[in-house]
Amino acid sequence: MKSIKVRTPAKINLTLEVLNKRDDGFHNIQSIMQTINLYDYLTFNIDNAEEIKIELKGNSDEIPYNESNLIYKAAERFFKKANIDNVKLSVYIEKNIPISAGLAGGSTNAAGTIFALNKLFNNILSEDEINELCASLGSDLNFCLYGGCALCTSRGEVIEKIPFFEQSVSLIKPKHLGISAKEAYINFSKLTDKSNPDNTSKLKDLLLKGKFDKSLIYNSLENALFPYYDELKNIKNNVKNSLMSGSGSTFFVLNSKLETSLNKDNYDIFENLKTINTGVEQTDE
């Protein structure tokens, strides 16, 4: 049996500007994504077998442990791409990143799966093949694989690394509220005003100069979701300098203590986090 353990980081969107809808049903975006030191941990064990078998287990009762899990899908596609048909894969998932929260929890796990399996099989796939595999599974996998700070375009899978800026991060998420990216983008399509301030380009230019201005953080999807979720509006109105990450429902605050009059019994709060310059990594933790 061979084993490997990886840690897969959450991400926040310092900017997320939704552009036009594509012919494939997705939207083109421009976003500056940033990984943070909130991790899931995945342990992979492989044994010989007569056919492919994939077993998932974990510590969360909020995720599926079957073929609908992105880890399962990533493993299936990896084995097909690498022409492997005779192994049993067991994965234990230590889930710490909230699900359906705009933090790329599922995507970072899938990227971690491709990373780990390629390590276990002696780098059988090239970097280009890994990137293609990641892009085929979702919009955030390519970024999660490499992490740090990056400009992400197309539907999010085209990444351009830009200078990393270390910052403290706090997160606040309504308990028991998850929002799918599909729902967020459908609601965005209903907006009359879909204009953007082009803060992505402005912030990128600053980062290239080694500077940062948190007044430029921006998310097009906030206004698409506020009419449907009072919990999100309450965070925006009661947590100073907060911004929704991705398609929600998590908000983040940079470089300041999270102060709010909200009833904290109704929210999950993560403090003392920070931005990091890494993506998926092998670990002994």
Q: Which residues are catalytic?
A: 11, 140
- 34-63 exposure pattern, b = at least 16 Cβ within 10 A, e = fewer: bbbebbbbbbbbbeeeeeeebebebebeeb
